[in-house]
């Protein structure tokens, strides 16, 4: 990401954007055969976000030897998605992998006036119980309606806030996931102007959201869903 001078953290969607300092932090899961371990393959799957600010990719890698070696990371996001947070899950018997991620579908914004777009995406791939066989190609199970992340806000109103609330789980018959979602939030021009002023070093007074902003400004949610194994 690009270091934001006001919040002192990197951002991916644009100035005064949502902090992305945990984007590169890996998320992992293991096919441990829960609850008994009888059909465990012990395959470990990992996802993370990395790349340039123009192309922050969602990467996938895996290990079948208890983490001693890993496959070459590969990008798995839908074309045009600019990832921020991600998490994988693998079914207990190791046959199915699900990945959830949040992504921006608009380019990096150098202003706070142009619209921005955030989506939540769930992917699926078949995997193998044979250690020598890699997990297959990913296909998209779900892409959420887009929302404008400018509608979210940190408590101080100085920037957006998209939490690292992106998680996935898998059973032998379905996967489930949660992601950040701003579809129900409204952008606030007064907040945009305040954030822009701070970015330029101009003295500014924070807006009063209840008086100066739409009623649904700040309405960022955690959405989720369950998804039946498409290849049982």
* Domain range summary for the chain, segments of one domain joined by +: 2-228
Give the phi and the psi of residue 192 in degrees, each rounded to 5: -60, -45
The answer to whether residues 16 and 6 touch, using CB atoms and an 8 Å cutoff, is yes
Residue 90 CB-density burial (10 A; 0-12 exposed, 13-18 middle, 19+ buried): buried
pLDDT at residue 210, rounded to an integer: 97
**Share above pLDDT 70 across residues of the chain, in percent, rounded to a whole number:** 100
Query: What percentage of the chain exceeds 90 in pLDDT?
Result: 100
3-state helix, strand, coil in the chain (%, to 5): 10, 35, 55
**Rounded distance between C-alpha atoms, residue 225 and residue 130, angstroms:** 29
Mean pLDDT of 171-179: 99
DSSP code, position 189: H
- For residue 77, the Cα-to-chain-centroid distance in whole angstroms is 10
Distance CA 60, CA 87 (A): 10
Mean pLDDT of 84-108: 99
Q: What is the pLDDT of residues 23-51, one digit of tens each?
A: 999 999 999 999 999 999 999 999 999 99
pLDDT tens-digit profile of 109-160? 999 999 999 999 999 999 999 999 999 999 999 999 999 999 999 999 999 9
Q: What confidence score (pLDDT) does residue 62 get? A: 99
């Amino acid at each position: 990401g690009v270091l934001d001078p006001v919040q002192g953290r990197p951002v991916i969607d644009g100035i005064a954007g949502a902090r992305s300092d945990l984007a590169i932090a890996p998320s992992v899961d293991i096919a441990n055969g829960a609850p008994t371990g009888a059909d465990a393959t012990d395959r470990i799957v990992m996802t993370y976000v990395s790349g340039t600010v123009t192309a922050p990719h969602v990467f996938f890698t895996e290990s079948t030897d208890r983490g001693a070696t890993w496959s070459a990371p590969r990008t798995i996001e839908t074309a045009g998605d600019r990832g921020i947070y991600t998490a994988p899950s693998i079914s207990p018997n190791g046959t199915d992998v699900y990945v959830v991620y949040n992504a921006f579908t608009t380019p990096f914004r150098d202003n706070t006036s142009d619209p921005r777009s955030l989506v939540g995406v769930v992917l699926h791939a078949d995997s193998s119980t044979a250690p020598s066989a890699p997990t297959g190609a990913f296909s998209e199970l779900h892409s959420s309606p887009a929302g404008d992340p400018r509608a979210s806000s940190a408590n101080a109103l100085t920037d957006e806030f998209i939490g690292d609330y992106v998680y996935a789980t898998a059973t032998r018959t379905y996967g489930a996931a949660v992601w950040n979602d701003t579809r129900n939030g409204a952008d606030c021009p007064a907040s945009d102007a305040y954030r822009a002023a701070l970015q330029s070093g101009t003295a500014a007074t924070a807006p009063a959201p209840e008086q100066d902003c739409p009623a649904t400004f700040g309405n960022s949610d955690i959405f989720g869903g369950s998804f039946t194994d498409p290849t049982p």
